[in-house]
Structure formats: structure tokens, C-alpha cells
Chain A
């Protein structure tokens, strides 16, 4: 089997690049940068993509899986795709550096050790409830600049910032 300049199978390279561009249906970030798309395995004509949902009840899971399957089909229509949803708790720590930059640009709160306002970077923020406009979002108000924003938080992380 020939290899590309990275020493990797060209099909695998093409799949990694294509799947790395698949976006979340709602938040302007790729599934890989969001930490949802975790692993891709290729075995003959079978591609297995392992993903971790931000929340079990996320209504976009089927759409994410559809986008992944369609992307693989566009790389090579002969491949069969299996999407495996791994039952582990997603946390914001799974978001990549690129992902954090994308979220900041889109006005989402930044999680370092504490939530940070995406507009003025203040850590003096107040959580405005346990639930936001989507299952994975929690609403915040910045006491520094008065802006309101959402942060992506997992159920495991939602123990701090109580009001």
C-alpha cells in the first residue's frame, strides 16, 4: 500500500482531512475541535467513527452522524460507515485550541480554570441558571462588561458558578 508524505495511507489522510472539517449543526465549530469526534478506524471497506455526545439528549446526534456518513461517502462512495456513540461524559477539556478560538469568535464563554467572558475576558461572571438555549449551553452574564453569553458545559462541570 502506498503512503503519502506523512507516511500514512492516502485514504486515511483524505478521511482525516474531510472528517476534520465536519461542523456541528448548531455551534460554529468542527466536531473534532468540539471534542465530539474522537477516533476514526479504517478496516478494509469499513470506516468506524467514534464520537462522544455533549449530552445524551442532544437532538443533533442523528444529524451529526448523517454528516459524518455523507462526508465519508464523498471521500469514497464504496466505504461503509459505522458511527459509534461512546457513552462517556463529554467535558469542555475535550475542546481543542482551535475550537476555543472558534467559540470565542462566535461569542461563547471561554473555559480556562474558570469561565471567561468572550468579549472582555473577565472572569467576574455570573451563571444565570443550570439550563440554556440548548442542552449543552449554560447562560452567563459578565459583571465586567454587562454582556450575556453562553458557555458549553458538561453535566459533570456544572457544579460551580452557582447563583
Chain B
């Protein structure tokens, strides 16, 4: 799997994750948390766009990937194609996604000073705040007897799904590109992520997570049934109002 294919798969992950987070902007009664998830949702979607830009995907093509590509052709992780319903599930997922993406962008930063390294450096700094925020929530849920059991269940579900975040595609359907990207090795990335997850959970005295020792392969569509529902919901405004004029932003 090339770096371009990995980054395009990760663009699917971040877009789905950011969109799922956005749901909590109005579901929550805590204004501060609404502001936080709103900001992080915006940034995750923006980082998805930046990953596609690094792969030389223009804004029009990007729009098609989101709004017309069949769900079977998406390549998200089982983790991000899952639609968590509860706050503990959202926290568990966000912690996993955030720590994994931090490992990915750190590796891109190490790739050099060129455009890829510069963009990755900015994304890494912005994502660090996300990881801090979710780590704090992991600590809160894990230290409260009223929420511990629910959080343990959520962490177990997230961990079971997360094993393919650095997985190769079983049958690559993502076009490879000509973009000038550093070579990334997914096995060491997965190991670094496992270590970071263990350290992060231990630092807030949270239960352990049992990520697999090696990355599992991704499959097209991820959790396809869940992804179909998610994609349909995300497209509902545009599909419901095809007569509207939509601007494609860069």
C-alpha cells in the first residue's frame, strides 16, 4: 500500500470521525464541550481535506468522493465507519483516532521540510490539543464509578475495531497517485501507536486496551452497513435539495 493510498484512506477516517463528532455540538448541554467538539470536528474535516491535497486531489474530485462515491468504495477503518451512539463510545473512539493520527503526522513531519512536512507539522500541533482533550475525558470517565463500566465496554468495542487503522487494503481500490510523498511503513506506525495508547491510558489510570500486535487489513467499505447509513445521512441535505447552489471550497 502506497503512502498516497494510506493518506486517502485516512482522509475517509478523519472525515467520518469529524462528521460524527459534529453531532454532539447540539446534543450536549455543556456549552464548553459543544465548543470543543465543534472545533475538533472542523479541524478533523479540514485535516481530511489537507491529506487529500497532499495526494494532489483537487477540490472538485474531493467533493465527488464525499457526495457521490458509493459506500462500497470508501476505505475507512472499522473504527471510523462505526457510528458510536453514547458519549463514552465517542470518547473511546476519539482517543484512538487522535493518538493514531498523531503517530501518522509525526511520521510525515519526520519526512522532511518540504510541503508535506510543513503541512504535517501544522496538523500535528493542532491534533495534539485533540489528544489532550480526549485523554482528559478518558481519565474522567475511567475514574468515575458511575461511568467506568460503560467506558470499559466502549473502549473494548473501539479497540476491537481499531486494529485496521494502519492496515493494508485487502484489495486496493484507491487509485495510487504521482504525489511526492515520503515512504511510510505501517508496521512500525502500528507499534508506535500501541505504545502511545498504552502510555496514554496508563497516565490517566484508565483500563488497558488490547490492540492487536500487528495491523489487520482494511476492507473496502469498513463496517459497510453502518457506513451506508452514515453516508446517506451526510448527503441528505444535498440529496434533498438538488436545486440548491453549492459552493466547493478549497
Contacts and interface: CB of A to CB of B under 8 A. Distances in A.
Interface of A: 55-59, 61-62, 65, 87-89, 128-135, 154-156, 158
A135 B125 contact: no
A28 to B, nearest CB: 21
A41 B43 CA distance: 30
Contacts of B118: 87-88
22 contacts: A56-B122, A56-B126, A57-B42, A57-B44, A57-B45, A57-B46, A57-B126, A87-B118, A88-B118, A88-B121, A89-B121, A89-B122, A128-B32, A129-B35, A130-B36, A130-B132, A130-B133, A131-B35, A131-B133, A132-B35, A132-B39, A135-B43
B250 A155 contact: no
A156 B126 CA distance: 8
Given A88-B121, A129-B32, 13 more contacts: A56-B50, A56-B122, A57-B43, A57-B46, A57-B47, A61-B250, A87-B50, A89-B121, A89-B122, A129-B36, A130-B129, A154-B125, A158-B129
Interface in B127-166: 128-129, 132-133
B24 to A, nearest CB: 13
Contact of B126 (A61, A128, A132, A155): A155
Given A56-B47, A57-B47, A129-B36, A89 B125 contact: yes
B224 interface: no
